[in-house]
A and B are shown apart, each in its own frame.
Chain A
């Protein structure tokens, strides 16, 4: 992918990558061949003028593989698919003056300098959020980035969901209007501050023109431009509202300057989320809460056997249920429509459906696992990265790790509200991919995309599930069969049985240790299915590699001179569709790599902390985290029997993180989480409160999955169906999670998935330290952790 990435740069096709690299602060100035167009804008170089006007000029920047990888697995894969000018469109995006419909939709604001900012005549500042809010706090973070440079208070803004519009709201790192891969802050760190600065500059220019003074004589704060030295004087300050009309008539500036971080008023402060107030009173509208006049409510059932079809139905009993309105049959699923959900649900339960189970009728998890193992042994691999050769001498250590399929189980079950008429298709849904929903709906209805109107909503969790459009497509298909607005709600059972699951993996990892116990070579043969191959196959066309599969293993924090990382592609049978799951590649690979690092330490007879330390002498940022976490948890202090700590260290999503988990394993094999300590280096923390929340929640989400979660198949159907058999961590099982940050002025790293990605290996290593049992597959198998046969006869109090 390195090659793809650089090729894209050379051809000028990659999202004006020069800027993107600049915002990442990773590209090195000396590598620029077009110096004037690729200034490196890390926070350390805050004061430079932003080449706003020259955005789209192609700057050739060499970015090494390591840099590219830091963008996160999901992201790199898409880098080269970005079309030329996408990022500059996002920056320069103005509402077109001639576009009356867009202006109307915006409420005709007199000042709309770019896609993200609207200032109304009454002074109301409206910020349009390019990413969706699914709990990660991006509405707050994005508002802070905009408001910081716009010079308004976070209390002075209103938030709006962005409409689907690739040109205006594309994520530079992903090349589409997509929220995922922990990219939102990283990808918009430059874009949003610059958008705010542009607006502020124009508003100041408008005030200066009014007063016939030099703009440099004016300053802005809290939505008011003041002539310096005249505070309190009459007529020498003007509100943004008063300036909006004049500002709207001015040209955009050629360049704007961004603040020195030491002057930040908002960024770096632990601000309350902008969406909290409504979420504690139940006022927030999620997709499932949408109410459209004349709307009916449906619930659905697809063939439990994945890929199966509807052969026929008998709806006599269903039609007799009071409140049932319609029964709609598609190829793969049936919907019962009611006046309310309860009628629909009762009606669906009463429906006799005959299924045609199809090719997966006998499929089991064991069969899938065995096929994966066979593929790992004999399949053809693609080499993702190879450095040096495997030494002949030395101690060879080998292990096989296996990861299960996982469901997302967002708290808000999947739902979509659709109203299809001859002229229009209107959709209300919380989705991570609004534009993909629009194109799918257009294909299904035969309407042009401009006739598909999508209203994005707050998401009751995403975790990657809402990167898929399957439930939206299904709802649109059902809605085309009726004349009224239709809200389709999946039951929890449907939500889990038809999750688009995280793939299973079978990885053979090995290392050769030198006489000092240090690894001189490591190899990882990853085997599993690709999500990208379905989701964006064009991103794999060049060499067939899905970079997500090797994220955080092709590059590790440690100094290991030689390596070979390869991937054997093994797709699931047709009908078993796999998808992104929180933490994507890093969640998968960090479990393998960091568990194996512990195995190497054990083989070398070294303490896992000391072993890692010795390999980090050239990586001071990660070494500092390791030391900080160890210090905070008191690494090495005495603990009771079967209580122990495990370390994991990683550099996922452009951040660096070290987690130490302390567990107790009972004599019966039950694992109790006692404490978790996280050391984090995420560069500039936009909102320290959100950073803490994401890390705490992310770690617990990862621990929950490692302890309890696995999707299994029987007769081609997912066996789990609800929270009783797809268990989720609860408050009584939750340990304290302490976060310690190492602050820096590096550009912000990703956060939404960092905690999740690092959780499982720390847990597994702690369990090994407590019991001597190395868990090489997830979830935790308690039967392996029983102290002895007598323990099972003990009464547990």
Chain B
């Protein structure tokens, strides 16, 4: 029996100590936002925070976690950097299939928490462990910069009116929209 600090709660878990945190979260606790992609720390889909650091939960045995605070995508919005990242992700509309995006968001939130204004090289270093097969990378980069600076980096998507509270919808004049050069 292990007691893990997950998203601010102590959770008792009955499972083998060598069981990777990924499967503890998904199969024992029902926190399925954290994804299985490769099982060998090559793709980053399983990224969670351990005391604020981005780690690959698919290769992290439960027994190695100890008392460290685990944060998953379900709760990262409660952190300042996580909230900024999620809002920027919506304003830029990063996601496609979305499967890797939990991991992308966790890596990006950890980056922003330790580096308030990351350069392109910082973004490369922090994010190159996260594969996106839809290749949303151009928008990921834009969203991280937007989260850091608060400035609209690229044309913004228009949010549905009634859900505007979930994210700041930056309206851009239509004339600027159709030929959105992004880089």
Contact = CB atoms under 8 A, between A and B. Distances in A.
Contacts of B102: 282
B9 interface: no
Interface string B8-31: 000000011001100100111011
Nearest to B157: A272
A283 B23 contact: no
B99 A692 contact: no
Given A286-B99, A700-B137, A341 B27 contact: yes
Contacts of A275: 95, 98
Contact of B32 (A135, A269, A289): A289
A411 B180 contact: no
Interface in A308-359: 322-323, 339-342, 345
B32 A731 contact: no
B59 interface: no
Contact of A291 (B32, B99, B162): B32
Contacts of A737: 138, 182-183
A210 B123 CA distance: 60
Nearest to B105: A280
Interface in B143-180: 155-163, 166-167, 169, 174, 177-180
Contacts of A280: 86, 89-90, 94-95, 101, 105
Contacts of A285: 32
Q: Which of A281, A411, A459, A734 has the most CB of B within 10 A?
A: A411
A155 B161 contact: yes
A291 B163 CA distance: 28
A254 to B, nearest CB: 34
Nearest to B166: A277
B116 interface: no
B160 A154 contact: yes
Contacts of A51: none
A373 to B, nearest CB: 31
Interface residues of A, number: 83
B77 interface: yes
Contact of B180 (A134, A340, A688, A728): A688
Nearest to A340: B27
Contact of B161 (A153, A270, A409, A675): A153
B99 A724 contact: no
A152 to B, nearest CB: 11
Contact of B182 (A412, A692, A743): A692
A701 B16 contact: no
Nearest to A322: B16
A542 interface: no
A738 B181 CA distance: 5
B40 A281 contact: no
B73 interface: yes
B138 A135 contact: no
A736 B128 CA distance: 16
A615 to B, nearest CB: 26
B42 A155 contact: no
B135 A701 contact: yes
B101 A279 contact: yes
A179 B89 CA distance: 27
Interface in A375-412: 409-412
Q: Which of B15, B159, B179 has the most CB of A within 10 A?
A: B179
A692 B36 contact: no
B50 interface: no
Contact of B178 (A411, A412, A738, A743): A743
Contact of B35 (A283, A323, A460): A460
Interface string B90-131: 100111111111100100000000000000000111011111
Contacts of B180: 270, 688-689, 692, 739
Nearest to A632: B181
A536 B28 CA distance: 42
Interface in A706-752: 722-724, 728-732, 734, 736-741, 743
Nearest to B183: A736
A492 B37 contact: yes
Given A273-B157, A342-B20, 16 more contacts: A135-B96, A135-B97, A153-B160, A155-B161, A277-B166, A282-B74, A282-B102, A288-B32, A323-B16, A340-B23, A410-B133, A411-B131, A728-B131, A729-B135, A730-B137, A731-B132
3 tightest A-B CB contacts, nearest first:
A282-B33, A155-B160, A736-B183
25 contacts: A137-B96, A277-B167, A279-B101, A280-B101, A281-B74, A282-B34, A342-B20, A342-B23, A411-B35, A411-B99, A411-B100, A460-B100, A692-B182, A701-B134, A723-B40, A724-B40, A724-B42, A729-B135, A730-B128, A731-B124, A731-B128, A731-B130, A736-B182, A740-B179, A741-B179
Interface of A: 133-137, 153-156, 269-277, 279-286, 288-289, 291, 297, 322-323, 339-342, 345, 409-413, 458-463, 489, 491-493, 632, 675, 685, 688-689, 692-694, 696-701, 704, 722-724, 728-732, 734, 736-741, 743
Interface of B: 15-16, 19-20, 23, 26-28, 30-40, 42-43, 45, 72-74, 77, 86, 89-90, 93-102, 105, 123-125, 127-141, 155-163, 166-167, 169, 174, 177-183
